[in-house]
Structure 1
Amino acid sequence: MDNPQSFAVPLEPYALVVAAQRNEALDQAAQWQAVAVQRTAERDELRAELERLRAETNAQAPHA
């Protein structure tokens, strides 16, 4: 019967690759999260501007 250890593959080189891929994925996730936060802030600013413009328009509209 074959020795099971003869089929053993050293995991250290793969662990380094997997760790590097994980770190890259975490970096990308952080970048996308930062983009999402920025877009949310921009959306909120635009929403506030829209509400301000609506209020101005309603104040200027002739009342019946």
Structure 2
Amino acid sequence: MGNIAASFDGVSVGSYPWFKPGQFGTAVVLTGLDKDKVDKAATQLEALVREGGHDAHRDLDNSTFT
């Protein structure tokens, strides 16, 4: 994730692990003022996660762009 943040000036990356009985995961949040940069960073992150054999999806319901 550090490489992605370094590749996209103005995009911040945060990760938030979560745990439930019998389950665990990580929510990764990308923030920035440039929608195109955030979208490109998210696309790269999704590809990396999938290459690692894990599921990845975007929650655009929580997106805000101004």
**Considering the TM-score relative to the shorter chain, is it more than 0.5?**
no
Structure with greater strand share of residues:
2
- The structure with more radius of gyration: 1
Structure with greater helix share of residues:
1
Q: What is the TM-score when the length of structure 1 is the normalising length?
A: 0.31
